[in-house]
């Protein structure tokens, strides 16, 4: 029982510890590229931040729109950069897409625009992946280094024949080391210009993606903070999903103003422990 009128400094300290233990703890969704690393280098002190969250008992999940790496490949890259991370602490959009296909079709037949890692993930989940024109349940669009308009031409005919068009996201660009490359946005736009139905989007900023992440973790929506570097994917998506949000300045949005509804900004993920310690509610 917490003493209402502590008689000594020790009583006061004990009462404060008990009180703090009753307060709700925050949980975090954390973007990866541009937040935990840039190119092939980790953000300074980034690995220590995840250790801090574990020590404080703050849950976290890494959420990313990358479709070019599986959970295991992301884990390998982060481990190589000094991060300690478990597979179940990583939720890539490719996994969300595979789960969507399973819920929608069971074992789906897919025409895939994407790289081999996405093909392998879908195949491992029991889906059939085609690279040629044939009847399918869905056209799945993931990131690849060199998009092919011949594939978009095939996709148009398959969609017109009844296949569901699905894109992992529609980010306009993606970082490839020190090079910024065209993302899925232009590919989705090209397909949309020649079909009459909307493309199903899976990843950030879609509310369904954040809902799936909440369901996976059991985090409380009102106590979950999205930390990201993209105003359009991370921050806007978090606000729409009813999450708190923090914009970091190490990736895509270095100079843009903090938008209304965002709960603050950090110079980098390394400043998260100080931010947490300053929040009396946490």
User: Can you give the three-state secondary structure of 12-48, one letter per residue?
Assistant: HHHHHHHHHHHCCCCEEEECCECCCEECCEECCCHHH
Say what the pLDDT of residue 181 is. Answer: 83
> Under a CB-based contact definition with an 8 Å cutoff, are residues 84 and 62 in contact?
no
Say what the pLDDT of residue 54 is. Answer: 96
100, containing H or E segment: helix 93-105
Say what the pLDDT of residue 14 is. Answer: 52
* Spatial distance between the Cα atoms of 200 and 96, rounded to a whole number of angstroms: 13
pLDDT tens, position by position, 100-159: 999 999 999 999 999 999 999 999 999 999 999 999 999 999 988 777 899 999 999 999
Domain spanning 26-65+205-278: CATH superfamily: HAD superfamily/HAD-like (3.40.50.1000)
Q: Report the 10 Å Cβ neighbour count for 121.
A: 24
CATH 3.40.50.1000-classified regions of the chain: 26-65+205-278, 106-201
> Which residue is associated with the tokens 């399973």?
102
pTM for this entry:
0.86
- The fold adopted by the segment(s) 106-201 is Rossmann fold (3.40.50)
Give bridge partners of residue 173 from the DSSP assignment.
182
Nearest to 234 by CA among 242, 225, 222, 226: 226
| 3-class state of residue 265 by DSSP | strand
pLDDT tens, position by position, 255-264: 788 899 999 9
CA angle, residues 120, 122, 128, in degrees to nearest 5: 100
Say what the pLDDT of residue 44 is. Answer: 86
64, containing H or E segment: strand 60-64
> Under a CB-based contact definition with an 8 Å cutoff, are residues 22 and 246 in contact?
no
Q: How far, in whole angstroms, is CA 4 from its chain's centroid?
A: 44
Say what the pLDDT of residue 154 is. Answer: 97
Give bridge partners of residue 266 from the DSSP assignment.
248
List of the chain residues with pLDDT < 70:
1-23, 39-40, 177, 252-253, 280-282
């Amino acid at each position: 029982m917490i003493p209402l009128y502590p008689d000594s400094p020790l009583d006061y300290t004990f009462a404060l510890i008990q009180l703090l233990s009753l307060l709700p703890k925050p949980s975090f969704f954390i973007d990866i590229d541009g937040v935990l690393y840039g190119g092939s280098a980790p953000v300074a002190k980034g690995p220590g931040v995840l250790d801090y969250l574990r020590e404080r008992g703050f849950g976290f999940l890494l959420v990313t729109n990358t479709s070019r790496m599986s959970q295991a490949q992301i884990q390998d890259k982060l481990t190589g950069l000094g991060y300690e991370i478990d597979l179940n602490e990583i939720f890539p959009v490719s996994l969300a897409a595979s789960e969507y296909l399973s819920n929608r079709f069971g074992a789906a037949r897919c025409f895939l625009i994407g790289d081999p890692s996405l093909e392998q993930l879908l195949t491992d989940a029991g889906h059939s992946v085609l690279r040629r024109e044939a009847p399918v349940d869905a056209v799945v669009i993931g990131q690849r280094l060199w998009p092919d308009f011949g594939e978009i031409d095939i996709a148009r005919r398959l969609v017109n024949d009844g296949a569901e068009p699905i894109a992992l996201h529609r980010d306009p660009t993606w970082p490839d080391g020190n090079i910024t490359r065209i993302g899925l946005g232009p590919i989705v736009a090209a397909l949309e210009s020649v079909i009459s139905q909307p493309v199903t989007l899976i990843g950030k900023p879609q509310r369904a993606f954040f809902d799936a992440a909440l369901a996976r973790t059991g985090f409380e929506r009102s106590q979950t903070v999205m930390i990201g570097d993209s105003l359009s994917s991370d921050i806007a998506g978090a606000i729409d999903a009813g999450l708190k949000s923090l914009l970091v300045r190490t990736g895509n949005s270095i100079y843009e103003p903090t938008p209304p509804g965002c709960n603050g900004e950090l110079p980098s993920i390394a400043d998260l422990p100080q931010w947490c310690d300053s929040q009396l509610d946490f």
